[in-house]
Structures are given as structure tokens and as C-alpha cells.
């Protein structure tokens, strides 16, 4: 059974870093999905930490007909067939 964190707001980011630092390697192994059991122990030895690039939010207002045409194009691509325009 998972232990619930008492803290509602993480100290940094979205993770409760204090709780994560207290979890033992055995607890992590025991909670891992079976398909990960065959991974070699040295898998992470040469891993490098890559910090995510900060993204900038963009808002764009478009006319309804442009939006409808774009949705129609997406539907055609998903369906893999030609549909008549709206």
C-alpha cells in the first residue's frame, strides 16, 4: 500500500523531495513494474542529467473558419481518407 504524503504543497517543483529522498532502493525495486526487472544494473552509470529547456507560452487568436479548417485537416490525417471540406 502506498504511503500518502502529509504535505500538500511540494517544496520545489511537483515532487515531495523529502519523501523521495527517504525511499530505499529496495522499496523502489519492489514497486517497479515487472518489465523493468531485466534491466542491467549498470544502465544508469553513463547517464547524464539533462535539464529541461524553459518553454514560453504563446497565445494566438484565429478566425473560426481557420480553426474549423485545421480541425478538418487533422481529422483527415487521423482517418487516413479524404473527407469533404466543411
pLDDT of 3 higher than 70: no
> For the chain, what percent of residues have pLDDT higher than 70?
78
Instruction: Give the pLDDT confidence of 36-51 residue by residue, as tens digits.
Output: 888 888 888 888 988 9
Q: Tell me the whole-structure pTM to 2 decimals.
A: 0.31
- DSSP secondary structure, the chain, as one string: -PPPPS-SS-SBTTB-HHHHHH--HHHHHHHS-GGGTTS-TTTTTT----PPPP---------HHHHHHHHHHHHHHHHTS-----
In this predicted structure, what is the pLDDT of residue 22? 92
In this predicted structure, what is the pLDDT of residue 1? 45
For all residues of the chain together, what is the average pLDDT? 79
Amino acid at each position: 500500500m502506498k504511503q500518502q504524503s502529509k504535505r500538500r504543497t511540494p517544496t520545489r517543483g511537483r515532487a515531495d523531495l523529502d519523501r523521495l529522498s527517504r525511499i530505499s532502493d529496495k522499496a523502489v525495486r519492489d514497486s517497479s513494474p515487472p518489465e523493468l526487472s531485466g534491466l542491467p544494473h549498470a544502465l544508469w552509470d553513463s547517464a547524464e542529467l539533462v535539464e529541461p529547456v524553459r518553454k514560453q507560452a504563446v497565445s494566438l487568436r484565429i478566425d473560426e473558419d481557420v480553426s474549423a479548417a485545421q480541425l478538418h485537416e487533422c481529422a483527415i490525417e487521423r482517418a487516413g481518407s479524404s473527407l469533404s471540406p466543411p
